[in-house]
Amino acid sequence: MDETYKRFLAKGRIDLEGLESRLNNIEHKLNSKGPLLLAGHAESKLKALYKACESLGTEALNLSKAMKAENQPMKRLMDAITINQKLQKDEIASLSARMEAINLATREPDNQITLGARLIRIKSREISLSHMFKATESRKDPAKARPIFTKLSPILSRVLKDCRDLITQANERSLYRIVITATISFAKVAQLEAWYRRTYPLETILDLHLKESDACLEKLEDRTETIRDLLTAALKLCDGLGNCPELQEQVQGMTRLYEGPRYETVTLEELQSVKTAMVSGRGGIATHSGHWYNCVNGHPFAIGECGMPMEQARCPECGAPIGGQNHTAVAGVSRAREME
């Protein structure tokens, strides 16, 4: 039975390597086609690659489940004996004890395979979503690409949650390569989610029920700080491993992207310069016809014309609701009188 267990693990590792190889091949094909969605036959090939990515992710999830303890040969043998002989609870316990005594007990699952397969599922989604988003950005007419982007907010939120769960569980099991790679995926998908939220604010609201939206769409600033912390930890893990230059380079690249703007106190002179720049020129906001407001997180924005809110939008800094309707601001918005 020990040989059976070894063959069980060997098959799992072979299947995992096969999935990794196929995913790398799909990623290479997507990158070689570039970000543009082409018409006709080329577009159908591109959609076929997206479908292949989705199918591969499903296979990876199935592999992760198949390698868990309940699917090990010894566990299945014990279940078969229990069902066939209709054993009582004390008899089952006795059988388990005897099997443990002769080293035939169910083993702990191989976490490198189970968690590695989950990582492949996450990567498959990250790769296809990244390419879709690049394709949309490159189109002159975004409406042609819009049908692809339906119900994406729940998918993005699920991938982000899967990343966080995997990072935590891989850390607990000291599987640091998985931690590093999952952190990179988390940072990339978070960028996609933020872009989608800014570009399709109405679709984001419609995709998620209001209650679910509050739970899933955390403040952009909070998430950014979380990702910075995770990237810092991942970089330390790279230093500890010492033999992962490619991963280290990717972490460093994502860290540079997330350094971004940091907020510092603005002096009165700087504030006056901002106000002067915003109201001057032909397209400026005249002080008698426009007003400044702050979102719930204190980020300023301006409303021209009558200066009163007539439509809703999202704060480009943090994604909080801004604006309003019928001259009434949404909850949390306040006048930024220091800007007027």
pLDDT exceeds cutoff 80 at 20: yes
Better pLDDT: 300 or 127: 127
Most confident listed range (15-19, 213-217, 260-264): 15-19
pLDDT of amino acid 134: 80
DSSP calls for 170-182: HHHTT-HHHHHHH
pLDDT of amino acid 127: 94
Answer yes or no: are the C-beta atoms of 108 and 152 closer than 8 Å. no
SS3 of 290, please?
coil
What is the C-alpha to C-alpha distance for residues 18 and 34, in angstroms, rounded to an integer? Answer: 25
Give me the chain's average pLDDT, please: 74
Quote the strand ranges of the chain, DSSP E. Answer: 291-294, 300-303, 312-314, 321-325, 328-329, 334-335
pTM greater than 0.75 (yes/no): no
Q: Where residue 315 falls among pLDDT bands split at 50, 70, 90?
A: confident
Tokens of 205: 């609201």
Distances (CA, A) of 120 to 43, 166, 181: 25, 11, 10
Better pLDDT: 146 or 220: 220
pLDDT exceeds cutoff 50 at 27: yes
What is the C-alpha to C-alpha distance for residues 304 and 293, in angstroms, rounded to an integer? Answer: 11
Most confident listed range (3-17, 148-162, 168-182): 168-182
What is the C-alpha to C-alpha distance for residues 140 and 138, in angstroms, rounded to an integer? Answer: 7
pLDDT of amino acid 260: 63
pLDDT exceeds cutoff 90 at 59: yes
Q: Where residue 66 falls among pLDDT bands split at 50, 70, 90?
A: confident
Most confident listed range (203-207, 274-278, 296-300): 296-300
Better pLDDT: 148 or 244: 244
pLDDT exceeds cutoff 70 at 141: no
pLDDT exceeds cutoff 90 at 73: no
Q: Where residue 215 falls among pLDDT bands split at 50, 70, 90?
A: very low
Question: Which amino acid is it at 284?
Answer: G
pLDDT exceeds cutoff 70 at 133: yes
> Which bin fits 314, alpha (ψ -120 to 50), beta or left (φ > 0)?
beta
pLDDT of amino acid 272: 63
Better pLDDT: 184 or 46: 184
Q: Where residue 175 falls among pLDDT bands split at 50, 70, 90?
A: very high
Q: Where residue 114 falls among pLDDT bands split at 50, 70, 90?
A: very high
Which sign, positive or negative, has the C-alpha torsion 49, 50, 54, 60?
Answer: positive
- Per residue in 78-104, pLDDT (tens digit) is 554 444 555 445 554 454 554 454 444
SS3 of 307, please?
coil
